[in-house]
Amino acid sequence: MRRVTHQLVLLNGPPGVGKSTLARRYVDEHDGSMCVDIDLLREMFGVRVRHETRSLLTSRVVALNVVAAGLAGGYDVWVPQLVLDTAFVDELAGVAGGAGAEFKEVLLMDSLQHMQRRVAERAREFDPDANELASYHERFVHSIGVRPEVLILNCGEGLQVQTYDALLQAIA
């Protein structure tokens, strides 16, 4: 059965868990959807400032406006982003509500060891070092259950197909 309304999906979780990969796959396979990747927006800043907190905050403001425009245009919008600040989650939910769209947050989790290996392999500009990654992982593990509306998906090593299928089922 096709949904009547459009939706905003926040794919949240630590680095290296597959947020951007899953969002891009969904958008590639579903007409009428778009991906707003805040890390790509941050890359638009000069190299000396893109790691500053203000570039993240500015990128999130830009993202909120792009999300609002996408939802107003009737698109499903996917935001793959590590978000520990629940205020930003609330802002996203508010934008969705204002557009008459559903808001869903999906927390993607995997073992720390798997995430460390994937982060080391990809070597992206914004990737954390091993201590930061362990801290992110621990903070997300401790956040499970705090907000019961968050959908939690464990995405183990080598389970990309199963994770994607579970994600589709979770947002249906």
Domain residue limits, the chain: 7-171
What angle do the packed helices 53-72 and 86-98 form, to 10 degrees? 20
Edge-to-edge strand order for the sheet containing 102-109? 33-35, 76-80, 7-12, 102-109, 151-154
In three-state secondary structure terms, 75 is coil
pLDDT (0 to 100) of residue 2: 46
Q: Considering only CA atoms, which of 39, 31, 14 is closest in space to residue 111?
A: 14
Topology adopted by domain 7-171: Rossmann fold (3.40.50)
pLDDT computed for residue 1 by the predictor: 41
pTM over 0.75: yes
pLDDT of residue 123: 67
The residues of the chain scoring below 50 in pLDDT are: 1-2
In whole angstroms, what is the distance from residue 17 CA to residue 68 CA? Answer: 26
Q: Which pLDDT score, from 0 to 100, does residue 125 have?
A: 65
